[in-house]
Amino acid sequence: MKITIVGCGNSGLVHAAKLIERNAEVGLLKTSDTVNGKFFELMSQEGGFNVKDETNHGRVFFAKPAFITRDVEKAISFADIIMVMTTTLQHERIAQMIAPFVKDKQLIVLVPGYMGSLIFKKHIHKDVLYSEWETTAYNGRIMDLFVRITFYNPRNAISVLPTASSAQVLPLLSGLFPNTQYLRRHILESAMHNPNMIVHPIGMLFSAARIEHSHGEFWMYKEAFTPSVLQVIRNFDEQKNRLLHAFDCAPLNYFDAAKWRNFNDLSIDSMEAFRSFAKAANKGPSKVDHRYLNEDVPNGMGLFASLGKAVGIDTSIADAIITLSGTLLQKDFRHEARTIEYLLGKAHVSQKEICDAIY
């Protein structure tokens, strides 16, 4: 398979490294000038990048892609699979950028999705398939001269649009990423199980003073989730599960989902698993004006609130988080929100219209 990774940030390069390790043909497309520019120039000069894989006994190797480019036509025309690994805030721009070069029968994978397939469908009028992931298969970051792979999810669940093509897409992606063997019902379910939608806004909102006071010494997963904040997550989960039930999905709370995704041993207590993950987590954001709010509030909480409104489900906790997060940053997250009305291009959306779009 020929795979183009769109986005040369942490996630893009981590997944590119794992694909190259499995002898896939991988191309890298750089889409911005604002992040990791120096590392991109270094990769371009060297023809690849160094990798330290801590999920594989600290193995060090040199990952050499088929190409490293800013040439959109070259990158998109090359691919059987296009993996979009930018932030979801870039989905509209990326969809417009690649649309002229997308070909029939390609597979576009959004990592993560937040129902972004519906944005790409507005701009791409080809016979293509989509897959959305709720999170990444591997975690890591660019550090000095290395791409460091620090963690992998033993179980990675995906969704497919149209859902009728799931039996075709799942084996294809699980062949590239062996932990990707699990299927969600549809892209709405994947979006609601994106863990960032829950822990990023809640952890940031209730720790705003600590973040600003600590000057870079805030460890979110270790510090933010005290018993009272965990209760907010549990109550939000109750509202989220009512929405999932409305779209024929089984209930699943955040902590059980995190254990299922992050741990091989499913017999351990979910809260014990969460605390274990927290101990190993990296530092949190050093400022409140951060992607954890700027992305996950409008594209996660905003999407959830709009879906709830469309089908008559209480979303009062998300509504409060949207209001308070916007107040913290003096931004209008309601105006910026990725609503279901925006995704479907209609002022009023029915439950049937949502189902028609996600299946």
At residue 185, does pLDDT exceed 90? yes
At residue 35, does pLDDT exceed 80? no
Per-residue confidence band for 31, with pLDDT thresholds at 50, 70 and 90: very high
At residue 299, does pLDDT exceed 90? yes
130-134, 264-268, 273-277, range with the lowest pLDDT: 273-277
Please answer whether residues 19 and 3 qualify as being in contact, where contact means their C-beta atoms are separated by less than 8 angstroms: yes
pLDDT above 70 covers a percentage of the chain that reads 99
Q: Which residue(s) pair with 142 in the sheet?
A: 147
At residue 256, does pLDDT exceed 80? yes
**272 or 33: whose pLDDT is higher?**
272
At residue 270, does pLDDT exceed 90? yes
Write down the pTM of the prediction.
0.96
C-alpha–C-alpha distance, residues 142 and 206, integer Å: 28
pLDDT above 90 covers a percentage of the chain that reads 94
CATH 1.10.1040.10 maps onto the chain at 195-358
At residue 241, does pLDDT exceed 90? yes
The pLDDT value given to residue 278: 87
Please answer whether residues 18 and 97 qualify as being in contact, where contact means their C-beta atoms are separated by less than 8 angstroms: no
At residue 36, does pLDDT exceed 90? no
The pLDDT value given to residue 345: 96
Average of pLDDT values for 226-251?
Answer: 97
The pLDDT value given to residue 277: 87
The pLDDT value given to residue 144: 80
Per-residue confidence band for 38, with pLDDT thresholds at 50, 70 and 90: confident
CATH number of 195-358: 1.10.1040.10
Could you confirm whether domain 2-183 is CATH 2.60.120.10? no
- Using CA of residue 216, residue 218, residue 156, residue 195, what is the dihedral sign? negative
Token match 């990326």: residue?
94
The pLDDT value given to residue 350: 97
CATH 3.40.50.720 maps onto the chain at 2-183
C-alpha–C-alpha distance, residues 254 and 192, integer Å: 10
At residue 180, does pLDDT exceed 90? yes
3-state SS, one letter per residue, for 258-299: HHHHHCCCCCCCHHHHHHHHHHHCCCCCCCCCCHHHHCCHHH
Per-residue confidence band for 279, with pLDDT thresholds at 50, 70 and 90: confident
